[in-house]
A and B are shown apart, each in its own frame.
Chain A
Amino acid sequence: MNAVTANRYTDAWRTFFTPLRPRAAIVISAHWYVGGTRVTVQAQPRTVHDFVSSKGALDRFDYPAPGDVALAHRVRDLLAPTPVTLDERWGYDHGAWVVLAHAFPNADVPVIELSLDRTQPPAFHYALTRALDPLRDEGVVLIGSGNIIHNLEIGRGPGSDAPMDWAPRFAADVHRRLERGDHAGLIAYDRLGRDAQLAVPTPDHYLPFLSILGAQRDGERLTTIVDGDRGAYDLGMLSFAIQ
Chain B
Amino acid sequence: MIAAAALADELADLEAIFDDALATVMPNPVALRFSDLPLDFQGKRDLVFALALLAEGENEAALIAGLAHDALVRDPAFDVAHLVREAWYYVRTSIDPNWQFDDPPASFGPALTYVGTLLRERVAAATRPAKTPSDEPGADARRALLARLR
Contacts and interface: CB of A to CB of B under 8 A. Distances in A.
A159 interface: yes
Interface stretch (B22-30, B44-52, B79-87, B106-114): B79-87
Interface in B53-110: 64, 67-68, 70-71, 78-80, 82-83, 85-86, 89-90, 93, 96-98, 100-101
Question: How extensive is the interface on chain B, given as a class?
Answer: 20 to 34
A121 B101 CA distance: 20
A118 B64 contact: yes
Given A119-B68, A202-B90, A157 B98 contact: yes
A156 interface: yes
Nearest to A118: B67
Given A153-B97, A160-B97, A202 B70 contact: no
A35 B67 contact: yes
Q: Is the interface of B mostly helix, strand, loop or mixed?
A: helix
Q: Is the interface of A mostly helix, strand, loop or mixed?
A: loop
Contact of A202 (B79, B89, B98): B89
30 contacts: A35-B67, A35-B70, A35-B71, A118-B86, A119-B68, A119-B70, A119-B71, A119-B80, A119-B83, A122-B82, A153-B93, A153-B97, A154-B97, A154-B98, A154-B100, A155-B97, A156-B97, A157-B96, A157-B97, A159-B98, A160-B97, A160-B98, A190-B82, A194-B101, A198-B100, A201-B89, A202-B89, A202-B90, A203-B82, A203-B86
